[in-house]
Amino acid sequence: MKGMIQRIKNAVVAAAAMMPGAISEDTICRLLEKTLETMAPAQALRWLFRLDNVLYKLQGHQSVAYGGGLHTKHRHIGYHDFFVNRIAADERVLDIGCGNGALACDVARRSGARVLAIDRQQEHIAGARRHFADGRVEYVQGDVPADLPEGHFDVVVMSNVLEHLPERTAFLRQVARRVRPQRFLIRVPLFERDWRVPLKKELGVEWRLDSTHMTEYTLESFGEEMRSAGLRITYREVRWGELWAEAVPAGDPDGAAGRRADATGH
């Protein structure tokens, strides 16, 4: 199946090279339709879903290029606002798995918080320091929880990080014990984002948005994981096929969210 996709891709690329601009979307669609005519429905769906996964990756790469090096989802889906609006000026923030640093920098600039952003990949930290430097952000290369800094942080930010981890409950408990945050702000992908996801899984096709994801959540599985980690969800919303949530240590009867709202006015 992968070989067939590659052959079609090679044929389209070769034809386009010979006739620049002559390969239209209609031509590609007709080629796909002819290919599908020879297949049973299940086989056709598997083929289409594998092609869909290839196209999704290509769309991501082109979106980064179109965005001048930053994926356009940062401005299209507005998830930065979820974090910024829940952090007060002069709070101490730990951004775990900060990636390119765009979110950490935005939080610092717009909320006035002090941010320590950590990522295990040195190239991410180098890029963050180069493109998203700010006096209120410190970028650190390290592995969590082994390399967690000493001291208390008011807020722990985890944006599209938790789904990559194998022992998530133990991880959250260790972070809570080490840095004693008032609250966690978490963004994760939802399994229930689209009807095609369970169908892909049923057909044995890669259904995850990223093959490094250990899980993608339902509302129920996320809630259970937070409870197992000793956290209580004080706010959650579903947008863009993602779950954005605020959670506090379960031993906090009033919830840090109330204290934060008093401080920020949000």
Q: 125-145, pLDDT tens digit by residue?
A: 999 999 999 999 999 999 888
pLDDT tier at 23 (50, 70, 90 boundaries)? low
The C-alpha atoms of residue 147 and residue 60 are separated, in whole angstroms, by 31
Report pLDDT for 258.
44
pLDDT at 147: 82
d(CA 163, CA 103): 18
Average pLDDT, integer, range 30-57: 89
**For residues 135 and 23, which has the higher predicted lDDT (pLDDT)?**
135
Which of the residue ranges 29-33, 95-99, 185-189 would you say has the lowest mean pLDDT? 29-33
In the chain, list all ranges with CATH 3.40.50.150. Answer: 77-264
Residue 22's pLDDT band (cuts 50, 70, 90)? low
The residue among 1 and 199 whose pLDDT is bigger is 199
For domain 77-264, give the CATH number: 3.40.50.150
Query: In this structure, are residues 155 and 182 in contact, taking their beta carbons and an 8 Å threshold?
Result: yes
Highest mean pLDDT among 33-37, 257-261, 262-266: 33-37
Distance CA 25, CA 208 (A): 27
